[in-house]
Amino acid sequence: MKKQKKKQTSSSLLRRYILILLIGITLFQITLPLLFVVFEVGFNQFGWTEPNHYRGDKLEAMWHEQAEDLSVEEVPQALEEVHKNYPNASLFWIDQQGRFKDPIQVEEGLYPEVWSVPQTVEFMKESFDGDPFTTVAYIGSTKMDGFMVFQISREYLDSPLSRVESEYRFWFTGIGLGSIFLTFLILSLLFFLRLRRRLIHLQQAMTMDEGAMIPNPVEVKKRDEIGLLEESFNNMVYKLKESQRNEQEEESLRRDLIANLSHDLRTPLTTLRGQIYGLQKEVTTEKGNQLIALADGKITFLGELIENLQSYTLLSAHRFPHHPKEIELTALTRQSLASWYDTLENEGFQIDIHVTDHPMYTTLDPTWFQRILDNVIQNVLRHASEGKYIQFTLAHSDNYGHLSVADHGKGMEQNSSSTKGSGIGLTIISLMTQKSDIAWEIESSPSGTIQHFTFHVNEKRS
């Protein structure tokens, strides 16, 4: 059990779905930064820049490099050369006496002609991280010849990536999140489609073909929750098949036992009937004749039980001969009732027969129909004899024929099972009516019982 549980955990569906969630979270964490890194590398390493847009760190490095190798005399010329490369920049320099000199593209009157130390410090403070971008470099290596100033509007310092990020931040975010969601959706869809395919396969295995009693086992491919469910299903199938084999063996033994028992009982019953028939000539008293008649009735009853038992065995094994054909039901019913008339009359029954004169043609096995009617009458004789009344009604309506048998007995206990009552005779009626497509219903009360039989009538012939 521990080993099986370990295998289940290692390939758990939950673990796989958690893995999908982790992939989604990981993609969320790396997709947006990765996009910006790709753009940054593209713009900065491969020169994907636009004209007149510069990087502040490069400008600052360039300005310091220019100033470090200059002498005071070379400064004006150097400023002119820088202005050619950076036409949007403002340039000027302050000499060692603090004089404002050689301004290029500087608004007039913006700065004093002579700078004091406080003014210089204030300029530095205001220029730090301000707009325009300002970088200051000492002239020469001694740092005693003054300094020169490079200024340019910060709009020229915004990299394309920064501007794209600020202007299209929503789109970048949407694309990133959309990519993550789409990836997660595809992975989840593939995950659940595989689960659905396996569950449908299992459902199809559980859906048996018509006539099949037990489904076939399924192939177990994975040791996850569905795989364990498939294993449980297979174990159930194997147990059902084993149970079916045992049941079939028991049923075969039971049928053989009933067949042998019926055969073994017929011989002594026949012998007893012959001996009782011989005794009738020897007995002269009325009491003796009554006892002989009672014994003969019991032998007849046992013979009927044996016959019913054998019929039930054959019916349940689907071996009872069944040959349906078109018959005329009105005449067959009259013929069957006539064979029972004397018996019912001798038992003191009031017989009430209402059989239509209208011919009714239906498709039935005539032997089965007579057997059904015989069992109904036998059941009335055994269990409703105290009422001394039996009524037969055969009627026709639309495409159906209706046969009812009523008695005034004490009634039979209602039963919700398919046999519709106790007794092997009623069980035989149930099996035969089902096989013959005859609807059978029982209405029973303490004042009597009515059995209804409804069957299809061939419209063309009727």
355: left (phi over 0), alpha (psi -120 to 50) or beta: beta
Cβ–Cβ under 8 Å, residues 400 and 445: no
pLDDT, residue 258, reads 72
What is the C-alpha separation between 390 and 98, in angstroms, rounded?
A: 141
What is the C-alpha separation between 385 and 347, in angstroms, rounded?
A: 8
User: What single-letter amino acid sits at 381?
Assistant: L
How do beta strands 400-407 and 389-397 pair?
A: antiparallel
pLDDT, residue 243, reads 87
For 56-158, CATH number out of 1.10.1740, 1.10.3470, 3.40.1130, 3.30.450 equals 3.30.450
Low-confidence ranges of the chain (pLDDT < 50): 1-10, 46-49, 414-422
Please name which of 200, 141, 172 lies closest in space to residue 38, comparing C-alpha atoms: 172
Query: Tell me: the pLDDT tens digits for 266-301?
Result: 777 777 777 777 777 777 788 888 888 788 777 777
| Domain 213-320 = CATH 1.10.3470 | no
pLDDT, residue 417, reads 39
What is the C-alpha separation between 219 and 50, in angstroms, rounded?
A: 64
- Structure pTM? 0.46
Fold for the domain defined by 324-456: Heat Shock Protein 90 (3.30.565)
pLDDT, residue 35, reads 63
What is the C-alpha separation between 319 and 405, in angstroms, rounded?
A: 28
Residue 209 CB: number of other CB atoms within 10 A? 7
List the domain boundaries for the chain: 2-48+163-201, 56-158, 213-320, 324-456
Beta bridge partners of 101: 93
Query: Tell me: the pLDDT tens digits for 404-450?
Result: 999 999 887 643 333 333 477 888 899 999 999 999 999 988 889 99
User: What single-letter amino acid sits at 12?
Assistant: S
pLDDT, residue 6, reads 42
pLDDT, residue 414, reads 45
